[in-house]
Structure 1
């Protein structure tokens, strides 16, 4: 019973309290990539603790490793007549933990599939409406409204409108393209899908709601930082201001994106990132947080 109490407390901490603390943290804007990692670690930790909590509820007097090893022992040592009943019993006990893990995983698969269908449909439209611009590694749409966005995934491409070409300087255009390429190279759509799926799987949970909102902004900051490494931050800021009002498909990444004013202030007034020791310590703690539920579930005396 101690294991159940500990896992429940841990799940509540990760799902309710830590998200609000992470939102208020000031270091996340200085290390957006690390902050994205922490958010993903919290999602994994919550699901792991939920699965293991379900196991302890179903089998309160047996650790996770005991159930697995016990099943293997039965399959290898029991008589033929007893194997079926033993395996069936183990399988029945695994239904609730399995459902706890399959539920968010199923939402992730569904979210990825839906986004892929939408991107495929949009790509088919671009094949008709847009013309290739190989000198820009992009496609060009004849539209007066300035807009820049990328279509991630297997159908990846960067999309520019004629309006964007008319208002952006050469320096701004190069910064824009670097920003969008950062989204594509970083496969940010898979991270976005994870937060979207989690928010749908656990509606109303602060972790899901805040992870989805914060990750969207942090990924834009990650792309900003990558573009600013090789291009002028002021050029990127100018481009963001020119296309901030443009609407882009929900399954794409647009330069305007989320929290434009916050990102502009961040680019114009950069702050030093965390010390490497602090960076690696935070990453290690995030990894430890994903493993901690298993340590609790398999620890001695916590059954």
Structure 2
């Protein structure tokens, strides 16, 4: 029963649960807790499916007279568990390599074509007239890129809000958060995954960066910057200021809204999906496994 139960938990956490939560607005009220919740869901799904595979392997070793349908079912569960675990490590390598290569190439182009900002050495100004702003993260030597169109469209305080937003991305390594979601996303086969965690994480890191910028420049200046940059495209591997404009403006427009309950709910869901399957199924199975292997 344990392999089937863990397998079902993994499927629920990989598909219907994220699809349902993606329709909710409340995770946007507490971005950091929301990020943790989405990571917990994806990680718990991988752990559940991996546990299902291990439980199935033990069943094959200990069951003396398995039925045909039992064998078929357990082989399917074992196959999914092995596939998810193998894809996780393959995805970790592939996401890291592809992202590093894209950022290195784009950083070279930015340094070649961009004009250094006199007072801000890490900032590069591109000649494009379309308002654009983004950062290219790199430990110890990141770049913040703004177009001439951005400089022309924004007043001094709004430009400062944009720069603070991008520095927050760099300082708190939001790129690593998104890379982790990319790995967890690719770990599941297409029929067993939804794009919701990846899309939601992209919105949540923008809200977190907005919080940092708002503390420096205030809400009105940040709102003007968001409107000016709304819809601007960000190169692959970079983090930009043009996405999720509506959600960001709504949050700025209601700065005093209570968020403690959203934080509590997100943290509670994170704890439940990680702890309950472990305590209810994994620990008893591990005790049984030790007894069988020890006996």
Same fold (TM over 0.5): yes
In the TM superposition, 1:20-99 aligns within 5 A as 20-60=19-59
Q: Distance in 1 between matches of 2:50 and 2:4?
A: 14
TM-score after normalising by structure 1: 0.80
> What does residue 131 of structure 1 align with?
115
Greater CA deviation, 105-114 or 174-183?
A: 105-114
Q: Distance in 2 between matches of 1:287 and 1:56?
A: 23
Matched, 1:279 2:279: no
**Cα drift, residue 302 of structure 1:** 6.8
Q: Distance in 1 between matches of 2:146 and 2:114?
A: 9
Q: Distance in 2 between matches of 1:245 and 1:5?
A: 45
CA RMSD of aligned residues (A): 2.7
> What does residue 231 of structure 1 align with?
217
CA displacement, residues 203-249 of structure 1 (integer Å, 9 cap, x when unaligned): 43575411111111111111112211222211111112112243220
**Cα drift, residue 121 of structure 1:** 0.4
1:299 partner SS: helix
Greater CA deviation, 94-103 or 172-181?
A: 94-103
TM-score after normalising by structure 2: 0.82
2:59 partner SS: coil
> What does residue 10 of structure 1 align with?
9
Distance 1:206 1:53, change over 3 A: closer
Instruction: Give the length in aligned residue pairs.
Output: 270
Distance 1:273 1:185, change over 3 A: farther
2:11–2:192 CA contact under 8 A, matched in 1: no
Q: Which runs of 5+ in 1 are unaligned?
A: 64-93
**Cα drift, residue 268 of structure 1:** 1.8
Q: Distance in 2 between matches of 1:146 and 1:184?
A: 20
2:201 partner SS: helix
**Cα drift, residue 95 of structure 1:** 10
**Cα drift, residue 100 of structure 1:** 3.7
1:14–1:42 CA contact under 8 A, matched in 2: yes
Distance 1:8 1:98, change over 3 A: closer
**Cα drift, residue 282 of structure 1:** 3.8
Q: Distance in 2 between matches of 1:206 and 1:51?
A: 14
In the TM superposition, 1:91-110 aligns within 5 A as 100-110=84-94
> What does residue 188 of structure 2 align with?
202
Distance 1:31 1:205, change over 3 A: farther
Q: Which runs of 5+ in 2 are unaligned?
A: 63-77, 290-295
Distance 1:53 1:232, change over 3 A: same
Matched, 1:191 2:177: yes
Q: Distance in 2 between matches of 1:235 and 1:206?
A: 42
> What does residue 157 of structure 1 align with?
143
Q: Distance in 2 between matches of 1:207 and 1:285?
A: 19
CA displacement, residues 258-282 of structure 1 (integer Å, 9 cap, x when unaligned): x212221221233524327x63564
> What does residue 131 of structure 2 align with?
146
Greater CA deviation, 43-52 or 207-216?
A: 207-216
> What does residue 208 of structure 2 align with?
222
Among candidates 144, 168, 181, match of residue 182 of structure 1:
168
2:134–2:238 CA contact under 8 A, matched in 1: yes
Q: Distance in 2 between matches of 1:98 and 1:206?
A: 14
Which of 1 and 2 has higher RCO (CA within 8 Å, sep 6+)?
1
Q: Distance in 1 between matches of 2:199 and 2:260?
A: 26
CA displacement, residues 6-31 of structure 1 (integer Å, 9 cap, x when unaligned): 21221122112221232233321211
